Amino acid sequence: MTLSACGVRPTPVLTGAEAPTVSSHELTVYLISAEQNGLVRRTRAYSGTVETATAINLLVAGLTDEEKKLGLQTEVPTTSSRIYAVSNVVLLPEDMPPLSKWAQFQLYCTAIASRAKVEGVQVSDIDCP
C-alpha cells in the first residue's frame, strides 16, 4: 500500500479567539401582591446586555406564567414600544395610557432597583419592599 501527501506542510497549532460568553443577570421588578395590598419584589433572569431600563422593559412586557400562577398582578400597561432611561429620567412611550398609582409605584421601585444594580448607585431612604 502506498501513501502520498498533497504537499501541504505542517503548521504550528493555531489558536482561535475567546469562546463566546452569555452574560446572565438577575433583575428586580415590582409587582402588586395577590391581595392587592402592596408591592412584592420579583427576580427575573435576563441574558444579554443590561442597561438601566432593561428591568423596566421586562416589567412593561407583562407577567410571566409563574407570576400569573402566584396571583401577582400589574397595573403597568403592556407595550411593545421600548422604554429608555437617561440618567434619572425614564422615558415612557407616547402611546402608553395614563398610569394608576400602583403602576407609578411599580415603575418607580423597578427603576430604583435597576439603577442600583446597573450603575452601582446606593439606594437609601427608598420606601420599596
Share of the chain above pLDDT 70, in %: 79
Higher pLDDT, 60 or 115: 60
Q: What pLDDT score does 4 carry?
A: 57
Q: Mean pLDDT, the chain, as a whole number?
A: 83
**CA quadruple 36, 42, 44, 50: dihedral sign:** positive
Q: Quickly list H helices, the chain.
A: 54-60, 65-69, 101-119
Coil, strand or helix: which one is 91?
strand
CB atoms within 10 A of CB 114: 26
Coil, strand or helix: which one is 114?
helix
Q: What are phi and psi of 114, to 5 degrees?
A: -65, -45
Rounded Cα distance between 107 and 110, Å, is 5
Rounded Cα distance between 125 and 30, Å, is 17
Q: What pLDDT score does 125 carry?
A: 64
Matching residue, cell 411599580:
106
> Is residue 124 within 8 Å of residue 112, measured between CB atoms?
no
**Confidence bin at 38 (pLDDT 50/70/90):** very high
CB atoms within 10 A of CB 41: 13
Higher pLDDT, 86 or 3: 86
Q: Stretch 14-42: mean pLDDT, rounded?
A: 81
Higher pLDDT, 118 or 129: 118
pLDDT digits (tens, 9 = 90+) for 65-93: 999 999 999 999 988 888 888 877 888 88
Strand pairing class (39-47; 24-32): antiparallel
